[in-house]
Amino acid sequence: MNAANSSQWLQPAFNDPVLDAQTSFRSALKALAEPGLAQPLNRALALENLHPATYALCLAFLDGDTPLWLAPCFDTPAIRANLAFHCGCPIVDERELALFALLDDSQLSDLSDFENGSERYPDQSCTLLVQLDALSTGEVLRWRGPGIKDVRCVELPLPAVFWQQRQARSAFPRGLDAFFAAGEQVIGLPRSTHVLLKAEEAA
């Protein structure tokens, strides 16, 4: 695909770029500040196989300063053209360079190359935008940490290997932050959240 004939793929983004971006950001901020609580995120339309919530996260946070890594299933001409037009974010092939990564559930078994920050600059880490089919059909896990009063039960449909990968990549303050989007909802999972796995609870 070249830039000259990519306009056929373009679709409208936010109706109101200023206020819709602000509303989407506030939902994302609340999702991350209160991990595990689903927040509404409905200001964008679906773009091909990107759900409204996933696309709204992209539109709210991506711009020329944020290299993006695209999972193969999202690497389509339409998604590339719209992200290039509405966000202007560089799309990178190397996971190490990405500040944001757009993933689907087939990519969760390997998070090894995404940047998880350094001890001095833990903020220079990749944020994972993960699109799922639903946010509440998985195994019930207990989350605790900042933003959660006691314990919150969350049933994200995630494979066990994701939790192993997350564990392997986290050494607080280093770690990966994730948003899980499905339909018009988002759930945040910051690195500060401790997820009690079944094996740990038994121990």
Residues that bind another protein (CB under 8 A): 17-19, 21-23, 25-26, 28-30, 32-34, 60-61, 63, 65-66, 99, 118-120, 122-123, 125, 127, 145-149, 172-173, 175, 177, 190-192
* Residue whose CB is less far from another protein, 9 or 131: 131
- Interatomic CA distance for residues 7 and 71, integer angstroms: 22
Q: Minimum distance from CB of 77 to another protein (Å)? A: 25
Strand order across the beta sheet in which 194-196 lies: 152-154, 141-144, 194-196
Q: Minimum distance from CB of 164 to another protein (Å)? A: 20
* Residue whose CB is less far from another protein, 11 or 22: 22
Q: Minimum distance from CB of 117 to another protein (Å)? A: 8
- Interatomic CA distance for residues 166 and 23, integer angstroms: 29
CA angle (104 as vertex; 35, 200 as ends), nearest 5: 50
Q: Minimum distance from CB of 194 to another protein (Å)? A: 11
* Residue whose CB is less far from another protein, 82 or 116: 116
- Interatomic CA distance for residues 69 and 83, integer angstroms: 12
* Residue whose CB is less far from another protein, 124 or 164: 124
* Residue whose CB is less far from another protein, 127 or 185: 127
Task: Tally Cβ neighbours within 10 Å of residue 168.
Answer: 11
Q: Minimum distance from CB of 8 to another protein (Å)? A: 27
Q: From start to end of the chain, where are the E strands?
A: 39-40, 68-70, 91-92, 100-104, 127-131, 141-144, 152-154, 177-182, 185-189, 194-196
